[in-house]
Copies of this chain bind each other. A is one copy, B any other.
Amino acid sequence: MMAPLRLSRGDIEPVLVTGLLRRDFTHERAALCARLFVEASLDGVYSHGLNRFPQFIGMVERGVVRPDREPSRVRSTGAVETWDGRLGPGNLNAWACMGRAIEMARDRGVGVVSLRNTNHWMRGGSYGLRAAGSGCIGVCMTNTQPNMPPWGGREAAVGNNPLVIAAPNEPYPILLDMAMSQFSYGKMNVHRQRGEKLPCPGGYDLDLQMTDEPGLILESELATPMGYWKGSGLAILIDLLVATLSGGSTTAEIGERGEEYGISQVFIAFDLGRVGEKAESRRVLEAIKSSLRRTPPLREGGAVRYPGQGTWQRRQQNEREGIPVDPGIWQRILQTQG
């Protein structure tokens, strides 16, 4: 594998924007879409940042993702709204819906926006960060196509349905952004290439025995949910929540399409300035952070971190040294200019 290029935001964003403008994105939407891809890589979430851009462009070209479609409101009830994503770009739809949830939370304390007929939101953390940056706790949930066996089953029937929770914090929000699988296939591939076992069992081998050998799980395609039966249950309930509130498709229904599109999501914002008092939020945050800071590490030289702390360190490093971009990916991105 070649050493990654180290590029700045300024090197990358104009290239993505050009590629998007050539595919019917308006200037404003191209700029936001490019920014979300770049910021995902800037924060070290390469798999849902630049590494995914060529695939995203492919979906636009095949008409699966419709660049000109904006979400439209289907119904509104007090503090809950349902929107239809109209198969527009998943990241732009999600950004808009979290924006709307924040707006609703300004006078209701909480805003809930459900979204159907949307597409992959790329990095889910983006929308949590948007809420946190606006003084809100943000909660985001999405379903996906079936990609994981439910607990006790031996075929993929539930999605890895990511859950994001973010809260205001300086210098970078508290940010939990997690899929319901214990390991992504991308992560298992990295371990396999390094000849390493997984740190804990992460799936089944072809004989349906649990294993920590990533190669055997990549072969069976049977990755276990995080926390095994617990993550399986949470994945099922997230599917139920997003599909029920939005009136959209479930994981099983998405699975009938052969390709992942038209998925369901929910965005929730709690406006801390409206719901509570600033001093209270600050006390809670400090109590939690200082308790983690004081916890002796399991391994010498280790540290107990709050969710998002590692992301913030990666962002700082990438801002200093440039964003690492795989040369092959960069070639494919440059080709989107043509």
A residues near B (Cβ < 8 Å) are: 77-80, 82, 107-110, 112, 114, 137, 146, 149-155, 157, 163, 165, 167, 174, 176, 178, 182, 199-201, 204, 208, 210, 225-228, 230-231, 233-234, 236-237, 239-241, 243-245, 247, 250-253, 255, 270, 272, 274-277, 280-281, 284-285, 287-288, 290-292, 294-299, 302-307
CB atoms of B79 and A78 under 8 A apart: yes
In angstroms, Cα B225 to Cα A226, docked, is 10
Given A112-B109, A227-B226, CB of A297 within 8 Å of CB of B244: no
Q: Which of B78, B174, B303 makes the CB contact (< 8 A) with A110?
A: B78
The residue in chain B whose Cβ has the minimal distance to the Cβ of A108 is: B78
Nearest neighbor of A277 in chain B, beta-carbon distance: B247
- Residues of B within 8 Å of A167, CB to CB, are 237, 240-241, 244
Q: Within the assembled complex, what's the spacing in Å between the Cα atoms of A253 and B290?
A: 11
In the complex, the chain B residue whose C-beta lies closest to that of A177 is: B233
Question: Beyond A226-B226, A291-B251, is A77–B274 a contact (Cβ under 8 Å)?
Answer: yes
Give the chain B neighbours of A299 by CB distance below 8 A. Answer: 152, 208
Given A153-B292, A241-B165, A276-B244, A287–B80 Cβ distance below 8 Å? no
Interchain CB contact under 8 A, B243 and A284: yes
Determine if B304 and A182 form an interchain contact, defined as CB atoms under 8 angstroms apart: no
Q: Decide if A236 touches B298 in the complex (CB within 8 Å).
A: no
B residues in contact with A290, CB < 8 Å: 252
